[in-house]
Amino acid sequence: MVSSMANALGVIFANTYDNLVPDLVTERSMASIPFGGRYRLIDFVLSSMANSGIDNVSIIVRRNYHSLMDHIGAGREWDLTRKHGGLNIVPPFAERTVKMYSGRVDALDSILNFLRDQKEKYVILSDSCNAFNFDFNKLIEAHVASGADVTMVYNHAVIPEGARSDNYTIKVKDGRVTQLLSNDYRPGEQDLSLNIYIIDRENLIELVRDAAARGLIYFERDILARNLELLNVQAYRYDGYVARIADMKSYFDENMRLLDPAAMAQLFDADNPIYTKIRDDNPTRYLAGSHVKHSVVADGCVLEGTVENCVLFRGCQVRKGAVVKNSVIMQDSVIEDGAEVEYVVADKNVHITAGKKLSGADSFPVFVAKGHTV
Amino acid sequence: MAKEMIAMILAGGQGSRLYALTQKLAKPAVPFGGKYRIIDFPLSNCVNSDIDTVGILTQYQPLVLNEYIGNGQPWDLDRLHGGVHVLPPYQQASGSDWYKGTANAIYQNISFIDRYDPQYVIILSGDQICKQDYSDFLRFHKEKNAEFSVAVMEVPWSEASRFGLMVTDDNDKISEFQEKPKNPKSNLASMGIYIFNWDILKSYLIADEADPNSQNDFGNNIIPNLLKDGRRMYAYRFSGYWKDVGTISSLWQANMEVLDPSHSGIDLFDENWKIYSRNSGQPCQSIGTYAEVSNSMITEGCRVDGDVKDSILFPGVVVEHGATVEGAVVMGGTVIKAGAQVAHCIVAENVLIKEGARVGAMPEGGLNIAEPGDVATVGSGVVIGAGAVVGPKAMVANDVKDGAEQW
């Protein structure tokens, strides 16, 4: 294998933590939540894998995956349209009744035959609720160097409010994970799992086969946590930029964090671009009389009003006299003449009609569902 | 599998009148309108007109263009049968030749065209900004039972003598062709866009190649020969937006017209006639706390914290706090540092304009798109030093030192 190709395949879970952001996933999965003006959350892990030379990626989807399939297509934008490997979307397998995956073990069990047939030595498992620009090669190197059975990625972060009852924290001694705790609720910064794991493919197959046979569901709780003495689970600390989406508040805050150019520069690195589906929008037009400040704006917008502290997705329109502040406005939404919008998260194709006032608070942004007219 | 019509785009033009902008790339690869290159227009027109087989004839500085076109995927021209092909001159058993003229470029690719066995071939120019539905043009060609059709624009009689003119009868049949005549008999100017019946074109190309005195040019040789033989030739009147952006001022003008789609006639925002381009893959534009942006177009990867007025910024342009940009076309990756003033100019890709430098100047009386006057130009990769001055007429192809002046 030429050294530019990683000896690992990727498995991405598209629906984990859907339950934390119910408003945003009524018609989509966590993986396809719009983020950062022109991206979907999955773009970050997928681009990171592609940029690390991982060209065999399976995305395991459980429900509401139409928008994700539309977004990913054949994987061309990530250069994952390959004869060998490439992109592989794995929906639930239809047996007599369609069986929903309830945990990672279930889901992995359904692709065991696929995993057996692959050639890569390692498997990298990841969720899709984090936006980052991650170098998987460094993770692979660390995993190989330590000789671990499993290496898991964590960062030092405050547990988001929404994830208090749905997270894993770890205790690390000399690089080895000695405790893996579920649903930690301690305040302050903790060693919080990013739910990225690398494991030898053959070992994964054995562990999953065994766990599935015994009716176990969760990879972390049922496989790792129980076997920390038996398995050498190493911890890999990541100190790079992470936007962790765990509830509506963190979704809003993490979009807003990108208004800081330093944050943009950390997440978007010219040498490791984040790829996304191309829409062929024209550049954004700032008409005479527009006032746009401290905002992140995608292409295809037409701006005639006032925009401050906002993230505007592709194809948004802010008409004359409209004022939009401290808001996240998803693609193709229209703020009509004289409307005033503050602390709002507007999903796709929202219409705020002329003269309407809509205002939330910093701690509680108002959410307007996809396609709604206010 | 035969195709009804395939397109051949003449993209060999050096664009020497664009000076500093075409030192390293062919004219069709010159950036335009914020995120496009000139070649995007004929290519997108082809796709929007359901033409799925396109040959691009290149020979001058083809590197950028080749890389840009790639497999044609951004234009949906990555096809199993057909698609887009870049066709440079190549060596044949009988020897090799540069393309001697527009007709010779097609002549050298007869075998390419024959592979698709088309009934019609449309010849396009790779250096014009034009939105045109070629399927309308083909319908006209078929209705007239023509052997050759040329797209023409009505131009003011006072300017007619600058163009190649088609003299026609009431039925649009061409009776005479006048190349830049002193006394024009017509005001129908050729746009350099032709539809031929392939069998006719092929036989004339072969005959033209055999003529040692020919310049192997469509306008000078092929069209006069067709006329001489009394072929069925028709002029198709086109009234949409069309601009040959062959000079700095016309390129600047066409860019400015994009900012005013309701008056200028060029609308890049038409959902039914999208112009496709290869995406830069950069993140969203960041507009800073100190930015003032008015009547401008800004695209992906830009970071703006200064004043931008009546301007077009291409992907990844940086305008720092305290810098001003007015009436300017600023191409991808250019950085304008704090306190620099950039006005009424075209700045090519990856230029660095350092602190306090001045490039170009607004004319007295302000912006006048119809009569632009002087437009300063800075070539790609140039560094304009801190406090340096680039005059309103200057064409800068080399670095300008700190504090130096170039007029």
Tens of pLDDT, residue by residue over B114-134, are 999 999 999 999 889 999 999
Residues A299 and A193 in one domain: no
Sheet holding A357-359, edge to edge: A291-293, A306-308, A323-325, A340-342, A357-359
Residues A200 and A162 in one domain: yes
Question: Is residue A276 situated within a structural domain?
Answer: no
Question: Is residue A2 situated within a structural domain?
Answer: no
| Rounded Cα distance, B179 and B220, in Å | 8
Counted domains in chain A: 2
Contact by Cβ (8 Å): B168, B185: no
| B241 Cβ contact list (under 8 Å, min separation 6) | B129, B130, B131, B264, B265, B266, B267
Query: Is A286's CB within 8 Å of B286's CB?
Result: no
- Residue A325 maps to which CATH number? 2.160.10.10
| Rounded Cα distance, A191 and B235, in Å | 75
Locate A210 and state its tokens: 């065994």
**Amino acid, res. B366:** G
- Residue A1's pLDDT is 44
- Residue A338's pLDDT is 94
Query: Phi and psi for B140 in degrees, rounded to 5?
Result: -60, -50
Of these ranges, B100-109, B237-246, B329-338, the one predicted with the greatest mean pLDDT is B329-338
Residues A141 and A226 in one domain: yes
Of B47, B39, B53, give the one whose Cα is nearest residue B129: B39
Lowest mean pLDDT among A36-50, B259-273, B335-349: B259-273
Query: Is A273's CB within 8 Å of B282's CB?
Result: yes
| Rounded Cα distance, A185 and A168, in Å | 10
| Rounded Cα distance, A45 and A337, in Å | 39
Using DSSP bridges, classify how beta strands A284-286 and B296-298 pair: parallel, antiparallel or unpaired.
antiparallel
Residues A155 and A90 in one domain: yes
Question: Is residue A274 situated within a structural domain?
Answer: no
Q: Does the pLDDT at position B405 exceed 50?
A: yes
Residues A263 and A289 in one domain: no
Q: Does the pLDDT at position B16 exceed 80?
A: no
Residues A165 and A255 in one domain: yes
Q: pLDDT tens digits for B291-319?
A: 999 999 999 999 999 999 999 999 999 99
| Rounded Cα distance, B163 and B69, in Å | 31
- Residue B159's pLDDT band, with cuts at 50, 70 and 90, is confident
Residue ranges with strand state E in B142-206? 148-154, 164-168, 174-179, 188-197
Of A273, A288, A311, which has the smallest distance from its Cβ to B281's Cβ? Answer: A273
Residue A173, Cβ density class (10 Å: 0-12 exposed, 13-18 middle, ≥19 buried):
exposed
- Residue B22's pLDDT is 85
How far is the first Cα of chain A from the last one, in angstroms, to the nearest whole number?
Answer: 56
Smallest Cα distance from B278 to chain A, Å: 9
Residues A362 and A219 in one domain: no
Query: Is B282's CB within 8 Å of A268's CB?
Result: yes
- Residue B248's pLDDT is 92
Residues of chain B with pLDDT > 70, as a percent, come to: 99
- Residue A4's pLDDT is 57
Which residues does chain B have within 8 Å of residue A261's beta carbon, measured at their own beta carbons? Answer: 286, 288, 303
Question: Is residue A273 situated within a structural domain?
Answer: no
Residues A246 and A326 in one domain: no
Of B35, B74, B286, which has the smallest distance from its Cβ to A261's Cβ? Answer: B286
Residues A253 and A345 in one domain: no
Query: Is A293's CB within 8 Å of B297's CB?
Result: no
| A144 Cβ contact list (under 8 Å, min separation 6) | none
Question: pTM for this one?
Answer: 0.92
Query: Is B284's CB within 8 Å of A296's CB?
Result: yes
Query: Is A282's CB within 8 Å of B275's CB?
Result: yes
Query: Phi and psi for A124 in degrees, rounded to 5?
Result: -110, 125
Question: Is residue A297 situated within a structural domain?
Answer: yes
| B38 Cβ contact list (under 8 Å, min separation 6) | B27, B28, B29, B30, B32, B126, B127, B128, B129, B245
Domain of residue A33, residue span: 8-267
Query: Is A273's CB within 8 Å of B288's CB?
Result: no
Among the three residues A267, A293, A320, which one is the final residue of a domain in this structure?
Answer: A267
- Residue B297 at interface with chain A, using a CB cutoff of 8 Å: yes
Of A92, A86, A129, A128, give the one whose Cα is nearest residue A108: A92
Question: Is residue A352 situated within a structural domain?
Answer: yes
ipTM: 0.91
Query: Phi and psi for A50 in degrees, rounded to 5?
Result: -60, -45
Contact by Cβ (8 Å): B29, B349: no
Which residues does chain A have within 8 Å of residue B73's beta carbon, measured at their own beta carbons? Answer: 76
- The residue among B43, B78, B260, B284 with the most chain A CBs within 10 A of its CB, best to mutate, is B284
Query: Is A297's CB within 8 Å of B284's CB?
Result: yes
Residues A43 and A117 in one domain: yes
- Residue A97's pLDDT is 55
Residues A301 and A338 in one domain: yes
Distance of CA B199 to the CA centre of its chain: 29
- Residue A217 maps to which CATH number? 3.90.550.10
Radius of gyration from C-alpha coordinates of chain A: 21
Query: Phi and psi for B270 in degrees, rounded to 5?
Result: -85, 110
- Residue A101's pLDDT is 66
Question: Is residue A213 situated within a structural domain?
Answer: yes
Residues A64 and A204 in one domain: yes
Residues of chain B with pLDDT > 90, as a percent, come to: 76
| Rounded Cα distance, A190 and A176, in Å | 16
Question: Is residue A216 situated within a structural domain?
Answer: yes
Radius of gyration from C-alpha coordinates of chain B: 22
pLDDT in tens, chain A (374 residues): 455 567 999 999 998 888 888 899 888 999 999 999 999 999 999 999 999 999 999 999 888 888 999 999 999 999 999 888 899 998 876 555 555 667 888 889 888 989 999 999 999 999 999 999 999 999 999 999 999 999 999 999 999 888 888 899 999 999 999 999 998 888 889 999 999 999 999 999 999 999 988 988 889 988 999 999 999 999 999 999 999 999 999 999 999 999 999 999 999 998 999 999 999 999 999 999 999 999 999 999 999 999 999 999 999 999 999 999 999 999 999 999 999 999 999 999 999 999 999 999 888 899 998 999 98
Smallest Cα distance from A271 to chain B, Å: 11
